[in-house]
A = this chain, B = another copy of it.
């Protein structure tokens, strides 16, 4: 079928651009995280919390992916070292960022002055699972009001996530969400994924998440250094 062939070509092209993006990031010692979730699960809030806690230690840039609007970019622009907005509305793939959209954005960023790049993907639990961007870690946020069945209904995005965040823990008394059920589903799909429970409203759990980010960044830096000296 013609359309499937075309999609296959798009995915292969995406892989090769993503590799190039990661090489560029590694060359400049920039650690990149791809943050994915359904609309309204808290990607921008997580980015704001992460920046406010880590900005004393790291220079942080943000790439904001949205179908339309610049509202998220406006929220982060005073805190980030640099912000690039990507609007996907008129692009061939509007429901996800793709490596080919990140490539020109990286050229706009002052990579030598940045240690951490947070990429906020388009709000979607389906399309972003198909496209790597060149990121070092993939993170999926689920929020309590969405319900504990999301890993069963949208398995692909959870299967290759390095970390899964359960956000809006402050709403636990008011919604039907069984933490054990959710954790059990993640363990079945992706037992290596780190799971963080936090609330971007109260700040609960943010510190643990930020420690993990720092640790991943340091580990990645050591790996790159080792590969240069070997």
Contact = CB atoms under 8 A, between A and B. Distances in A.
B146 A40 contact: yes
Contacts of A156: 67, 89
Interface in A107-156: 122-127, 143-147, 149-150, 152-156
Contacts of A68: 152-155
A105 interface: no
A117 to B, nearest CB: 22
Given A6-B2, A68-B155, A92-B4, A38 B170 contact: no
Contacts of A169: none
A41 B41 CA distance: 11
Contacts of A168: 145
A51 interface: no
A123 B125 contact: yes
A16 interface: no
Contacts of A149: 69, 71
A206 to B, nearest CB: 18
